[in-house]
Chains A and B, each alone.
Chain A
Amino acid sequence: MAGAGRTDTRLVESETTETDAVAAVAVGLSAVLFALAVAALFGRVSLTGSLLGVQTVTLLGGLLTALGGTVIAFGVGSRFGYVETNPDPSAGLIAGFGAAVPWVVIGASVASQTLGLGAGVGVVAGVATGAVAFAATVLPREDLGSTVPLGALLGVTGLVFLTGAIGPTWVWELGWAQQAAITAEFLIPVSTLFSALYGGWASAKAYGGFGARGRHMGAYVLVYVNALSIVAFLFILVAFVVVQGIPGLLNGTEFGFGTGPTTSVFGVSVALPVSVPFLMNGVALFNDFQGVLPAIVGTVWLVVGAVVLAVPLGVGAALFLTEYAERGRFTQVVEVATNGLWSTPSIVFGLFGFAFLIPRFGNGKSLLSGMITLGFMLLPLVVITSREAMLSVPDEYRDASAALGVSKWQTIRSVVLPAALPGVVTGVILGVGRIAGETAPILLTMAGGTFVPGSQTADVIGGFQFTSAPPFVANPELLQATSALPYQLYALITAGVGASSNVGNADEFRWATALVLLVVVLSFYAIGIATRYYFRRRLRHT
């Protein structure tokens, strides 16, 4: 048989047939069910209400049953030669396990709960049902194996909904010491969701005519759904924060000449033409509108401090590792150490700052401790990305420069560093985005009160003083606790609604803070990604 017998597959396949169309309709039906399930899960579709004049649960049940029937019909039709397909002898072990899992759940819950036979019998029944589903998938030819057990699953689920065995008001008390129950509101959408995925998988396989191509289709449907869901999730998340945050952010916003606060640019006072109190005020009793200015300024200073500390250290270390040190034990140890530092939980950095830095900077939480802690967090990322960038500079550049008799440091300064600059810059910007949103480390090292008055806005540059006693230079601004956006949001959450009555609408205030934080962090990311594109494009065109 092996390889010798040519199968009757033709090089060019016929045009789309009616049977292909049936399978395509089944895939579409699964997509509709998937969408309905998601909508029901988030309460966009009411389970007790009706859709298109039919009760929602009945509609879901009917669609599931129809989908299950179609899938089975396709498989049986293929087995008896009514539909032209190209199935393998078996659907395979993975498909078997895939089909067994839901049947184990169904078997176990029916035996232990519906029939009330207890947990022990439930487990046995679950395993038995799963084994039957597994055998039914694996033993027959692929066209039956990959459709019948899954079609039956869809059919059973659909019938349970249709007959009202699980209606919109169904509840299963788990009877645990800490009270919990599984309700229809949760079960119906979730089981519909998984059934739709299984249905889509089976009908995509059928659409591909089973065999290698069918499995390819089935897998691609799932992979595409996953990728699409991730993108949709990101989009919904950001959109949700924006929609919730905009009212609070724009509270009391005025446009027009002279409405904004006055700042001096090169010694000339200029009134900004726009006033956004949320961004320009602190919290004070007599403010018309409250704001988060101290937290914004705090975040900016934090980032500046961390960058000033981490970037030279990190780039220097990366330089030494790539240019001076010979590859060996030492570089390996440093690599392992930096990667270890990179994955160290942020709260551990916080603990470290608490134990190490706070006693050394005036025994209280301070901006400086926060800066250094975040700098330590940023450091491994700078080392890793700079090292990657420097390693990707081709050796020919170095050799060419060395062949001209240029010294090593001159080579590094005039050849390696400029070539590695894009990678380093991008890495630093993305790293900054990451630390700007960190809460845990500054929680223990820097953060002050929940509502910070505008007068406490850190003024680091104006704060330097010279003293006669050691350490001779002092900056009380650096040694004071201040706020930062992520911490402010945390404090607002934990403070609860009662404590925040002095900012007007507390909920709006919180969402607006979240929005400002998100905008600050994501703009770092946007800049980082844009920089990368810019450099890459320039590289390609020169």
Chain B
Amino acid sequence: MAQVTDPRDGRIRSAVGEQVRRTKRFADETEPAALAILAVMALSLLGALVGFLAVSDWTIVPFAAFLASSAVGWVRYQEETAYLIALMMTVSTILILGLIVVFIFRESIPVIRYESATVYGITVPGLRMFIQPNWDAVSPPIRYSMVPMIHGTVMVTLIASAVAAPLGVSAALFLSEIAPATVREVVKPGVEILAGIPSIVYGFIGFTVLGPWASDQFQTTGQGSYLFVGIVVGLMALPTVVSVAEDALSSVPESMKSGSLAMGTTDWQTMTSITLPAAFSGVSAAVLLGVGRAIGETMAATVMLRGVPRLTEPLVNVFYGQETLTSIIARNYGEADGLQMDALFVAGVILFVTVLVISVGAQYIEWRMHKRLGGEI
């Protein structure tokens, strides 16, 4: 074990050493006055951040100091100031992701404690949210189970993927390989516009038109069904799949495609035997990202579902739609407080972690594809 970690340790140490040397060189080469200004900028911004986190009314003072010192720096030492500001902006981007993680996890802790369950004598915090299916925020015993919402999200996502994946990949093939240039110039912006239609508009149409129609068709009591929420969400995830998959397909070198066509294959054979296999990882990343979109879709689900957090009976009954992880947050944030609000944060944590894992996975797959095709990352 030690042998394995040692070289890595060494690498990190040498990287850190390199960083320190570079910083020192930078400090040596830069005028003392410029260094002082940069230090004031960094410290004052740090102060402002601390003040903001501590909910202080005095946050404005260090922030004003930051603005003033940046202004001075900009006039006198533009080169160094620009570098520092760009660096700070990069750091703040990462900081935001960090803050999201910290804050939504922090808010969800109380209810995780409350919903502890004991298995084989070991108390596992939060376990009860996943082993019993009751959500009841009003009458004792108060229970916040995530099971019905996870069930709903899974149902919606499955249906949405069944819609978005085949249609999206086929449309991407059309755009990247089949469509004549003029048709592509029309269809491609069309797909982008489809991505732009606000989810609440989809939800509104789903609620006013599709909901009553579906309840009539399937003779259900009341409206709201996972089937149609899934279809609508699938259509909303479609543009993501199309544009990412199209990028992947276009990144397959043209020479490979011509090579196949010159062998006397049809365009379709070239697509299925050369282009799609070569772009396979990119296309699967596209489908994964589409799944991520479908999981996180909120407003259409909120408006079209029934808003009763319970399982459908039987579990495969797609003609009834109860609640998903996203919709329960959007529906209940208003009247919720205390533990119930914290339970909503748990739903948020589940969403965030799932989608983050999917996103990182998709990036890894894409990265491997680029490496395999020998292109630049």
Determine whether A and B are in direct contact in the complex, meaning some CB atoms lie less than 8 angstroms apart. yes
Q: Does B59 contact A (CB under 8 A)?
A: yes
A159 to chain B, nearest CB (A): 24
User: Which residues of the partner chain A approach B213 to less than 8 Å between Cβ atoms?
Assistant: 43
Q: Which residue of B lies closest to A375 (CB)?
A: B96
Q: Among A26-34, A48-56, A122-130, A309-317, which stretch is in contact with chain B?
A: A309-317
Given contacts A347-B348, A348-B352, contact A522 B193 (CB under 8 A): yes
Q: Which residue of A lies closest to B318 (CB)?
A: A180
B217 contacts A376, C-beta separation under 8 Å: no
User: Which residues of the partner chain A approach B260 to less than 8 Å between Cβ atoms?
Assistant: none
A216 contacts B193, C-beta separation under 8 Å: no
SS of A interface (majority): helix
Q: Which residue of A lies closest to B202 (CB)?
A: A237
B199 to chain A, nearest CB (A): 7
User: Which residues of the partner chain B approach A339 to less than 8 Å between Cβ atoms?
Assistant: 359-360, 363
B363 to chain A, nearest CB (A): 6
Q: Does B119 contact A (CB under 8 A)?
A: no
User: Which residues of the partner chain A approach B72 to less than 8 Å between Cβ atoms?
Assistant: none
B317 to chain A, nearest CB (A): 5
B143-175 interface code vs A (CB 8 A; 1 in, 0 out): 000000000000000000000000100110111
Q: Which residue of B lies closest to A470 (CB)?
A: B57
Bound complex: CA A323 to CA B94 (Å): 18
Given contacts A240-B205, A351-B104, contact A179 B330 (CB under 8 A): no
User: Which residues of the partner chain B approach A23 to less than 8 Å between Cβ atoms?
Assistant: none
Q: Does B29 contact A (CB under 8 A)?
A: no
A236-254 interface code vs B (CB 8 A; 1 in, 0 out): 0110110000000000000
Bound complex: CA A36 to CA B179 (Å): 26
Bound complex: CA A227 to CA B174 (Å): 7
Q: Does B296 contact A (CB under 8 A)?
A: yes
User: Which residues of the partner chain A approach B92 to less than 8 Å between Cβ atoms?
Assistant: 313, 317
B174 contacts A490, C-beta separation under 8 Å: no
B61 contacts A470, C-beta separation under 8 Å: yes
B94 contacts A439, C-beta separation under 8 Å: no
User: Which residues of the partner chain A approach B192 to less than 8 Å between Cβ atoms?
Assistant: 430, 525, 529
User: Which residues of the partner chain A approach B275 to less than 8 Å between Cβ atoms?
Assistant: none
B107 contacts A212, C-beta separation under 8 Å: no
B343-363 interface code vs A (CB 8 A; 1 in, 0 out): 011001001100110111001
SS of B interface (majority): helix
Given contacts A213-B266, A472-B60, A493-B204, contact A355 B196 (CB under 8 A): no
Bound complex: CA A351 to CA B179 (Å): 42
User: Which residues of the partner chain B approach A325 to less than 8 Å between Cβ atoms?
Assistant: 90
Residues 321-335 of A contacting B (Cβ, < 8 Å): 321, 323-325, 329, 333-335
B93 contacts A337, C-beta separation under 8 Å: yes
A499 to chain B, nearest CB (A): 15
Q: How many A-B residue pairs have CB under 8 A?
A: 299
B221 contacts A440, C-beta separation under 8 Å: no
User: Which residues of the partner chain A approach B303 to less than 8 Å between Cβ atoms?
Assistant: 490, 493-494
Given contacts A439-B199, A521-B196, contact A409 B204 (CB under 8 A): no
User: Which residues of the partner chain B approach A359 to less than 8 Å between Cβ atoms?
Assistant: 55
Q: Does A340 contact B (CB under 8 A)?
A: yes
From B107, B201, B345, contact of A437 by CB (8 A):
B201
B292 contacts A177, C-beta separation under 8 Å: no
A440 contacts B326, C-beta separation under 8 Å: yes
User: Which residues of the partner chain B approach A178 to less than 8 Å between Cβ atoms?
Assistant: 220-221, 312-313, 317, 319-320
Q: Does A194 contact B (CB under 8 A)?
A: no
User: Which residues of the partner chain B approach A407 to less than 8 Å between Cβ atoms?
Assistant: 79
From B179, B196, B333, B359, contact of A434 by CB (8 A):
B196
B180-214 interface code vs A (CB 8 A; 1 in, 0 out): 00000011011111111111110111011000010
Q: Does A135 contact B (CB under 8 A)?
A: no
B96 contacts A409, C-beta separation under 8 Å: no
Q: Does B120 contact A (CB under 8 A)?
A: no
Bound complex: CA A149 to CA B174 (Å): 28
User: Which residues of the partner chain B approach A352 to less than 8 Å between Cβ atoms?
Assistant: 99-100, 103-104
Residues 425-471 of A contacting B (Cβ, < 8 Å): 430, 433-434, 436-440, 443-444, 469-471
Bound complex: CA A213 to CA B266 (Å): 7
A227 contacts B187, C-beta separation under 8 Å: yes
B209 to chain A, nearest CB (A): 8
B156 to chain A, nearest CB (A): 13
Bound complex: CA A172 to CA B89 (Å): 61
Q: Among A12-20, A217-225, A265-273, which stretch is in contact with chain B?
A: A217-225
B370 to chain A, nearest CB (A): 13
User: Which residues of the partner chain A approach B317 to less than 8 Å between Cβ atoms?
Assistant: 174, 176-178, 180
B100 contacts A344, C-beta separation under 8 Å: yes
User: Which residues of the partner chain B approach A356 to less than 8 Å between Cβ atoms?
Assistant: 99, 103
From B85, B93, B320, B333, contact of A338 by CB (8 A):
B93
A183 contacts B296, C-beta separation under 8 Å: no
User: Which residues of the partner chain A approach B329 to less than 8 Å between Cβ atoms?
Assistant: 347, 350-351, 444
Q: Does B138 contact A (CB under 8 A)?
A: no
A486 to chain B, nearest CB (A): 5
Q: Among A99-107, A255-263, A274-282, A510-518, which stretch is in contact with chain B?
A: A510-518
Q: Does B269 contact A (CB under 8 A)?
A: yes
B96 contacts A341, C-beta separation under 8 Å: yes
A334 contacts B171, C-beta separation under 8 Å: no
Q: Which residue of B lies closest to A224 (CB)?
A: B174
Q: Does A117 contact B (CB under 8 A)?
A: no
User: Which residues of the partner chain B approach A489 to less than 8 Å between Cβ atoms?
Assistant: 200-201, 204
Given contacts A223-B173, A443-B330, contact A334 B90 (CB under 8 A): yes
User: Which residues of the partner chain B approach A314 to less than 8 Å between Cβ atoms?
Assistant: 89, 93
Q: Pick from A317, A335, A383, A413 the residue with the most CB of B within 10 Å.
A: A317
User: Which residues of the partner chain B approach A517 to less than 8 Å between Cβ atoms?
Assistant: 198, 200-201
From A180, A234, A323, A439, contact of B219 by CB (8 A):
A180
Given contacts A178-B320, A348-B348, A440-B298, contact A522 B218 (CB under 8 A): no
User: Which residues of the partner chain A approach B197 to less than 8 Å between Cβ atoms?
Assistant: 237-238, 437, 518, 521-522
Q: Does A501 contact B (CB under 8 A)?
A: no
Bound complex: CA A343 to CA B15 (Å): 31
B313 contacts A176, C-beta separation under 8 Å: yes
Q: Does A233 contact B (CB under 8 A)?
A: yes
B190 contacts A234, C-beta separation under 8 Å: yes
A355 contacts B170, C-beta separation under 8 Å: no
Q: Which residue of B lies closest to A338 (CB)?
A: B93
Bound complex: CA A379 to CA B94 (Å): 11
B339 to chain A, nearest CB (A): 15
Bound complex: CA A346 to CA B100 (Å): 12
A518 contacts B298, C-beta separation under 8 Å: no
Residues 355-394 of A contacting B (Cβ, < 8 Å): 355-356, 359-360, 376, 379-380, 383
Q: Does A320 contact B (CB under 8 A)?
A: yes
22 contacts between A and B (CB under 8 A): A176-B317, A178-B320, A179-B221, A180-B320, A182-B218, A226-B174, A227-B179, A231-B186, A316-B86, A317-B89, A320-B90, A343-B289, A347-B351, A348-B100, A350-B329, A355-B107, A409-B78, A439-B198, A440-B199, A524-B196, A526-B193, A529-B193
Smallest CB-CB A-B distances: 4 pairs = A345-B296, A437-B198, A316-B89, A177-B313
> Which residues of chain A have a CB within 8 Å of any CB of chain B?
43, 171, 174, 176-183, 185-186, 212-213, 215-216, 219-220, 222-224, 226-227, 230-231, 233-234, 237-238, 240-241, 312-314, 316-317, 319-321, 323-325, 329, 333-352, 354-356, 359-360, 376, 379-380, 383, 407-410, 412-413, 430, 433-434, 436-440, 443-444, 469-473, 486, 489-490, 493-494, 510, 514, 517-518, 521-522, 524-526, 529
